[in-house]
């Protein structure tokens, strides 16, 4: 019973790796997104809008890498920002219904007219956040994440940190072919119950041979007596 349990665990572990290799998209994709910004308190307005576009690659079961950029309109009129960078996405699992990930990245940001008539300034950008994906079809995933984006500021005002909450799609270029058949787990091993063999009927002894009566004893006939003629 213990051996069968270990074997079952090994089979399930291998099936999980095989499921990623057979069903998950493993190539390049593009990721258009739209979102909202929750601005640093030093800005003139609390919220703004964002659009983004990235190109990504699935490296293995745990990691994706993305190269992309964003355009942020931080106060709707006078404060706008563009950035480009590279991000690493670490997936905690690849469940098609809910695949959570952590993201971190570095980039370059240019911010224009951030404070009145100040000129545009270029700065280092650091990003970190959490998100998840959900498979919608063979080559399309829904995605959403929240990232804290911090950058230096050369205008003399404090460094700035904004939250960007976005949603979009991962559109894959690779074609996985026909969808794999749904995995059906093997039934659990059940040790058969012991069944005693049916009793074997005893072989009856052979029938007794009939007893032949003993033959009658032989009796010799009596001899005749000769008569004396004298």
pLDDT of residue 215: 76
Q: What percent of the chain has pLDDT over 70?
A: 73
Chain segment 87-119, per-residue pLDDT in tens: 999 999 999 999 999 999 999 988 776 445 556
Q: How confident is the model at residue 48 (pLDDT cuts 50, 70, 90)?
A: confident
Q: How confident is the model at residue 127 (pLDDT cuts 50, 70, 90)?
A: very high
SS (H, E, C) the chain: CHHHHHHHHHHHHHHHHHHHHHHCCCCEEEEEEEEEEECCCCCCCCEEEEEEEEEEEECCCCEEEEEEEEEEECCCCCCEEEEEEEEEEEECCCCCCCEEEEEEEEEEEEEECCCCCCCCEEEEEEEEEEEEEEEEECCEEEEEEEEEEEECCCCCCCCEEEEEEEEEEEEECCCCCCCCCCCCCCCCCCCCCCCCCCCCCCCCCCCCCCCCCCCCCCCCCCCCCCCCCC
Q: How confident is the model at residue 160 (pLDDT cuts 50, 70, 90)?
A: confident
Separation of alpha carbons 86 and 53, rounded Å: 12
Chain segment 162-210, per-residue pLDDT in tens: 899 999 999 999 765 445 445 566 788 788 887 878 887 777 777 777 7
pLDDT of residue 185: 67
pLDDT of residue 203: 78
Calculate mean pLDDT across residues 29-40.
Answer: 92
25, 9, 10: which is closest to 133 by C-alpha? Answer: 25
Calculate mean pLDDT across residues 3-11.
Answer: 46
Fold held by 24-172: Porin (2.40.160)
Q: Mean pLDDT of all residues in the chain?
A: 79
Cα dihedral sign, 122-123-128-129 = negative
Calculate mean pLDDT across residues 147-160.
Answer: 78
pTM of the entire predicted model: 0.64
β-pair type (99-112, 160-172): unpaired
pLDDT of residue 164: 94
């Amino acid at each position: 019973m213990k051996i069968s349990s270990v074997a079952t665990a090994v089979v399930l572990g291998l099936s999980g790796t095989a499921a990623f290799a057979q069903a998950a998209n493993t190539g390049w994709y593009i990721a258009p997104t739209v979102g909202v910004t929750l601005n640093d308190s030093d800005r003139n307005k609390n919220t703004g809008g964002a659009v983004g576009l990235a190109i990504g690659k699935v490296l293995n079961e745990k990691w994706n890498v993305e190269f992309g950029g964003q355009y942020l309109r931080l106060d709707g009129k006078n404060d706008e920002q563009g950035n480009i960078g590279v991000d690493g996405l670490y997936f905690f699992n690849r469940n098609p219904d809910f695949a959570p990930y952590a993201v971190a990245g570095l980039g370059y940001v240019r911010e224009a007219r951030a404070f009145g008539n100040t000129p545009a300034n270029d700065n280092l950008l650091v990003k970190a956040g959490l998100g998840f994906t959900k498979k919608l079809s063979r080559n399309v995933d829904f995605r959403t994440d929240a990232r804290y984006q911090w950058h230096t500021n050369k205008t003399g005002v404090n460094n700035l940190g904004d939250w960007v909450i976005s949603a979009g799609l991962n559109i894959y270029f690779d074609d996985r072919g026909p969808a794999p058949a749904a995995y059906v787990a093997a039934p659990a091993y059940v040790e058969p119950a012991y069944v005693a063999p049916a009793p074997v009927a005893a072989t009856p002894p052979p029938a007794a041979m009939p007893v032949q009566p003993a033959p009658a004893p032989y009796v010799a006939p009596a001899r005749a007596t000769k008569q004396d003629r004298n």
